Amino acid sequence: MTAWVREELLRHAEEAYGEFHKSLVPGLESMLGVRVPNIRKIAKKAAKIDYYAYAKEADLSVYEELMIRGMMIGYACLTMEEQKTELRKFVPHINNWAVCDCCCATYKFMKKNQEDWFSFLEEYVYSHSEYQVRFAVVCMLDFFICEAFLERVLDLLSQIRQEGYYVKMAVAWAVSICYIKFPRETERLFTENLLDDFTHNKAIQKIQESYRVEKADKERLNTLKRK
């Protein structure tokens, strides 16, 4: 199974793309240079052929194989308990923002049984690991910014004090999406000073970059930026 996956990855590898992508994902050493749509196609097929064989044998030191290992959880035919078990095995291996975000987008099963999944994600919000916290934030961003969960999402985002850069960026991103969808409820994070300085200012910056926010709102938020 791993031989087939590696063969498919090498068939789609682009050296120039790999060099470019390394500049976007700091710290990567082992990258073949395969574009995400192709990684997804391979992950879908591997999940159908033999999920557990590849999950057991994947070389997680290789960027694309790690991503396939994570994506497969979203594509395989697993029960909810199996999904949780596999996520608990996979999440500690996340070592960059790209693997985190691409895999999180695959976990559309979190749109069902949302109370259970929200509780599952809460465990990771309080982790000391930068990418485990980012995993929770990005999943909340992808699947839980809705009326039913908004207040709980905002409350958790305001509590995060993990100092990792990629956590702060994820929280700022999530806050900006909350504001775009629910401006009145989200603005209190700024007026009540519930975020650290970096995240506070970065979230406002992201909101100001959105085409979905009125100019007057952007100008008002600009007055709330911290020096």
In the chain, residues under CATH classification 1.25.40 are 107-227
User: Do the beta carbons of residue 42 and residue 75 sit within 8 Å?
Assistant: no
CATH fold label, 107-227: 1.25.40
Per-residue pLDDT at 227 = 86
Tens-digit pLDDT profile for the chain (227 aa)? 789 999 999 999 999 999 999 889 987 879 999 999 999 999 999 999 999 999 999 999 999 999 999 999 999 999 999 999 999 999 999 999 999 999 999 999 999 999 999 999 999 999 999 999 999 999 999 999 999 999 999 999 999 999 999 999 999 999 999 999 999 999 999 999 999 999 999 999 999 999 999 999 999 999 999 98
Question: Could you tell me the pTM of the whole model?
Answer: 0.96
Distance CA 33, CA 18 (A): 4
pLDDT at residue 170, rounded to an integer: 98
Listed in sequence order, the residues at least 6 apart from 169 whose beta carbon sits closer than 8 Å to its beta carbon are 97, 202
Instruction: Provide the pLDDT for residue 124.
Output: 97
What CA–CA distances, in Å, run from 189 to 136, 152, 159, 169, 197?
19, 13, 11, 16, 12
Residue 85 CA, chain-centre distance (Å), reads: 18
